[in-house]
Structure 1
Amino acid sequence: MKHLVIIGAVWPEPNSTAAGSRMLQLISLFQKQDYEITFLCSASKSDFSFDLSTISVQTKVIQLNDSSFDGEIKSLNPDVVLFDRFMLEEQYGWRVMENCPNALRVLDTEDLHFLRKAREIAFKQNRELVFEDYISDIFKREMASIYRCDLTLLISEYEMELAIETFKIDSSLLYYLPFLSEEVNTNVPKFEERNHFVSIGNFLHEPNWQTVLNLKKYWKSIKKQLPEAEIHVYGAYVSEKAKQLHNEKEGFLVKGRAESVAVAYSKTRVLLAPIPYGAGLKGKLFEAMQFGLPSITTEMGAEAMNGKLDWNGFITTDEADFIEKAVELYTNKSLWENAQKNGYEIIKKRFKKELYETDFMNQVENLKENLNAHRSKNFLGQILQHQSLQSTKYMSKWIEAKNAI
């Protein structure tokens, strides 16, 4: 049987993060092709970590900067190794290369970290992004990791274009694989059966916190026009500063972790997501479409999601526009129903799993069969394997030796 080893930054939490849901989607793709899967992680499990044994995935705890990993990966002898974000490739990539040189190395970016960082810098300095913002240490590390791997998965068409057109990465090293959706259940509560607004997002993620701050700023104007409405703010790992925004009199309710996103979305009428910056695809907006929940967001929030299709609500350009469209969508039934249909259409035409799964697995198998030829064309990757990983390797060995004292 073919064997996939996943090296994860954390144990997946699909009910807490879009990254957790994405990981389970990847696992499902490989299992459908009869891969045995082992998930390796050095982090501690939380009460909300998904029990991977329920889907027949083996798990093992590994150590950072420890040669025990060498024996572990050699005994597993994987056909494919998937790194969950570039930091994991930095940490373990050289060990995989030395012990399993014939394993296909795949990097899942989740989103381009250097892009999110560049946008964060511009946002916090209250200015437009300039090219120099990209060229950070994170950029150099992430780019090096992409070149060292045989294939890198990008979740956003915008990021594919950025990588190929702006940074001239050969397209043979990249693969566009967005969020994947099963068949959508359209039997959900109707317009008149719902009330209130909703927002959701893991509070450990800085763009989500900035989104909540925007909501707090906009809410009084929305509430003034819709005095009976409330905004229900959900999110895992709610912080103390977020709890301080809770105000029942204002109808601004910080509820913390949602026991069920499906239930939270099916009861409310409109999702509010004034996202100021970020990268990749926004899991909250993807799930809203799946559950028939129209949304109001920003150009940043909707980036790379709807293509040329109409949005399932409104994409706004400023605060006044956001407030106006939120009230309009909340009160106009025909507009709301049309927005809901738009969301279903986006899911069907751009995110349905059948659109991607066969081609992706064919790409994986083709690379496995032609790995030497593929690597020989990636000469920059070979250079970086030699130079960058030598420094990473000996730093790791130094840390291991120091810890042994």
Structure 2
Amino acid sequence: MGILKKIKKHFERKEKLKDLQTQDIVNIHLYDAAKKTILFASRDFPAHDKESGANRLKELILIYKELGYNCILFAPHIFEDNSYVKFYQQHNVIVYIENNKYKNIYAFISSFKNIDYVWFNGPLALNLFYKKMKSILPRTRFIYDMVDIHFLRFKRAIELEPSRISLKKNYKHFFRLETVIAPQLDYIIAISDKEKEIMAQYADKKKIITVSNIHYPKIDISERKNFSESKGIIFIGSIHEPNIDAVKFLYEKIMPLVWKTNPELEVSIIGNVAEKLDIKQYPKFKFLGFVESIEALFMNSKIMVAPLRFGAGVKGKIGQAFEYYFPVVTTDIGAEGMKLTDQKNVLIANDEKSFAEAILQLNTNEELWNTLSQNSIDSLRAFSPEEVKEKLKTL
């Protein structure tokens, strides 16, 4: 952050605290010295209803609460009037917010010090906070949660767009963070066994633990619309590059082939991915933006598509679809790390022709649609809270 931005942030903080009169940390009175304490550090405060990685972090924090830990959540420049702060306050999580008692998070942990673990949520948090927190808390154990392998995501993007300089710069930056800095920590959390194997080339395999996304059925299968009642296609995504590319690929390459056979098939796009697109160039797509509750859309639509051509990690959008018994068409990249079988759990297609054919097949084949829908329970088994809780106990 440049000096002018720092000065601006300083005065903004001062004015905001003058209005709010925040004197201390949210829920600090709930701290129990008899319990172990874990601090979760994130570059951005987790908006769990807008982004799958943030939802995963929320679930992990709540599991640690169940395991009997004091849980402290920190992200910079967050104030007590933030609606997500209120969510965690209601769930008895201690939340570090900007306040009049401590100048910053480092002042807080310097005086508090009773922290057994620090969990860095992704490489941006690792880059921002690890070095200084390590110097303040020399006896604390540090955990790096990759969320996904970022350098792998950019490596795959370069294969599609080899002339983009920004992709190469990001690849070098994240490669260093994830292969040089991350192995210095006590534990590395991989999102899948496949990514664990990749990271074992750079770090001691004994310190790498797989903790995947957390998903469980949100409804009973009888509650969702059946094959004949449901209609339309859904894509959901945030402003990550793989999602932007997927929307373009879907509109420019896949759907023209689908519309030749079925010109009435509608496509709705959920999420803030639209903020990075000129939606005038996509007149046949319906952009819904942020949807507070996706339940009705998932229960009434016929097909979830995830035509991802690059990326890394386990895709939350696919697990989210399974939570609502919602059949999915995706690519090998989309299904990566989830142990899914083509024609049993999902339909997998990697080029525009086969992807279009898979959409048309699923839209007309009731038996196949029912198979994928009913197998959602099997698809979710590896992502249950109970499974993740057992993994976290090993740390």
TM-score, length-normalised on structure 2?
0.82
Instruction: Please report how far the alpha carbon of residue 178 of structure 1 lies from its aligned counterpart in structure 2 after TM superposition.
Output: 0.6
Q: Which amino acid aligns with 2:143?
A: V
SS in 2 for 1:78: coil
The equivalent residue for 2:240 is: 205
- What does 1:351-390 align with in structure 2 at a 5 Å threshold? 351-361=383-393, 363-364=394-395
Once the two structures are TM-superposed, the CA of residue 82 in structure 1 deviates from its matched residue by 0.8
Aligned to 1:384: none
Alignment of 1:27-66 (within 5 A): 27-44=61-78, 49=84, 51-61=87-97
- Percent identity at matched positions? 23
| Secondary structure of residue in 2 paired with 1:296 | strand
User: What SS does structure 1 have at the residue aligned with 2:314?
Assistant: coil
In structure 2, how many angstroms separate the alpha carbons of the residues matched to 1:320 and 1:344?
A: 29
- Unmatched runs of 5 consecutive residues or more in structure 1: 127-131, 365-405
**Whole-Å separation in 2 of the counterparts to 1:240 and 1:88:** 24
The superposition leaves residues 125-162 of structure 1 with CA deviations (integer Å, 9 ceiling, x where unpaired) of 39xxxxx9997232112222321211111112221111
Partner Cα separation in structure 2 for residue 338 and residue 25 of structure 1: 29
CA distance, structure 1, for counterparts of residue 209 and residue 50 of structure 2 = 26
Q: Go from structure 1 to structure 2 and tell me whether the alpha carbon gap of 1:44 and 1:71 turns closer, same or farther (over 3 Å shift).
A: closer
Summarize deviations over 1:167-218 as a string: whole Å, max 9, x none: 242112210011122355323221122111111101x211100000011112
1:324 aligns with 2:360: no
| Distance change >3 Å, CA 62–CA 119, structure 1 → 2 | farther
Cα distance in 1, alignment partners of residues 56 and 331 from structure 2? 23
1:272-311 per-position Cα deviation (integer Å, ceiling 9, x unaligned): 1111100001111111111111111111111111256854
Contact 1:81 1:103 in 2 (8 A): yes
Aligned residues: 350
Rate the CA distance shift 1:90–1:228 in 2: closer, same or farther, 3 A. closer
Q: How does 1:235-250 map to 2 (within 5 A)?
A: 235-236=271-272, 238-239=274-275, 241-247=277-283, 250=284
Structure 1 residue 325: Cα displacement: 0.9
Conserved in 2, the CA contact under 8 Å of 1:198 and 1:270? yes
Of 216, 227, 242 in structure 2, the residue corresponding to residue 191 of structure 1 is 227
Residue 342 of structure 1: aligned partner: 375
Does the CA-based 8 Å contact 1:86-1:145 persist in structure 2? no
SS of alignment partner, residue 337 of structure 2: coil
Aligned mates of 1:220, 1:53 — CA distance in 2: 48
Give the match for residue 266 of structure 1.
299
Distance 1:44 1:135, change over 3 A: closer
* 8 Å CA contact 2:229, 2:300 repeated in 1: yes
Mapped contact 1:258–1:264 kept (Cα < 8 A): no
Q: Which moved more, 1:132-141 or 1:143-152?
A: 132-141
Distance 1:353 1:310 in 2: 26
Identify the match of residue 269 of structure 2 among 218, 233, 236: 233
Letter in 2 for 1:150: D
Distance in 1 separating the partners of 2:83 and 2:317: 18
Q: Displacement, 1:242?
A: 3.9
